Structure 1
């Protein structure tokens, strides 16, 4: 089945009530990163989740994962990333995501919000979802826009001082002619690669 044949229950499966907690299935642990998957009704592409512990405070991790203007310096496969506008706790972010040849890159606008964060309690929650309307308005075509792209970061203090218990979840249906098995393999590799990249960035602080 091609990725374009997927019919997700929602463009944002992480919206309240869409995914059951018991639906998450542990798949493997890689370098201290626990990976999970959650099947999506009507889609060949599952939602993925990673849990890990960072040797840094939640505030430090939040500053990294919300620094969209500098994603190209450390986030795998992100060729372009810039904040377009901000309204309160919501950001609109343009990004270009590369894929190995011969597959075309995807461009899009994400709507990102941290309104659920509680910095005074060292708790941070960043949610994002694809803004189809803004993406088409900016790019002028839907051919390179993903069918669905959503996810979240959740950051809490770890059991030890100066540590962060982090959860990262993502659902990506790039659309087009990419086969679902290739999308699943690529996204599965992206999660530990992203967390490893953040760990390396922390070492330079």
Structure 2
């Protein structure tokens, strides 16, 4: 008795278990997609856009963590806590002061996962939550416990432009209702991409 005919079906079922991305917005050249992972209470959000700047210029803005207070929406404080492996690993602290909610802060470990040579390949910075070097929680500030994401930069038009993907899966925590957190994430992700585009194309 052979079980081989069942294998393709098993493969299809395994692939079907992952929710599909759904477009939730498209404005100002930015497409926003979202999906809720199995068992999750908030959505993963992904925004994409074609930026009129080379990948290196976009990368410079993304990696300028110390100046996020000047370039990133709602950022009140940004500090590099540690740099390892010749800059391939960065431990970063950020305090966000968004409207209508308590301040939030988080510590993330950012990995440079780029495959880039002579203007070809891609540039990628991916992060996960960490407690390395975490400062004490401040009064009136909610410590975010879920914050995973990445920036992916791919060259277009012979490297003159960049196709940017910004992915974020985060739960702001605190007493914020999940549906409000979900809506806030879907708004903030394109706002951040829009800010990066602005400073990457600034002459």
Which TM bucket (shorter chain)? 0.7 to 0.9
Q: Secondary structure at the match of 1:100?
A: coil
Cα deviations by residue, 1:52-83 (Å, 9 ceiling, x for unpaired): 10011111111111111001102112111111
Q: Which of the pair is proportionally richer in strand?
A: 2
With normalisation by structure 1, the TM-score equals 0.81
Partner Cα separation in structure 2 for residue 140 and residue 176 of structure 1: 13
Superposed CA RMSD: 2.2
Residue-pair matches, total:
183
Cα deviations by residue, 1:3-54 (Å, 9 ceiling, x for unpaired): xxxxxxxxxxxxxx9x94x621222211111111121222221100011100
| Structure whose alpha-carbon radius of gyration is higher | 2
How do 1:35-184 and structure 2 match up within 5 A?
35-88=32-85, 89-101=88-100, 103-114=101-112, 116-120=113-117, 121-131=120-130, 133-134=131-132, 137-140=134-137, 144-159=142-157, 161-184=159-182
Give unmatched runs, 5+ long, in structure 1. 1-16
With normalisation by structure 2, the TM-score equals 0.82
Q: Secondary structure at the match of 2:143?
A: coil
Cα deviations by residue, 1:114-161 (Å, 9 ceiling, x for unpaired): 1x2023125101001111x336x4225797211201100000111354
Contact kept, 8 Å, 2:58 with 2:197, in 1: the verdict is no
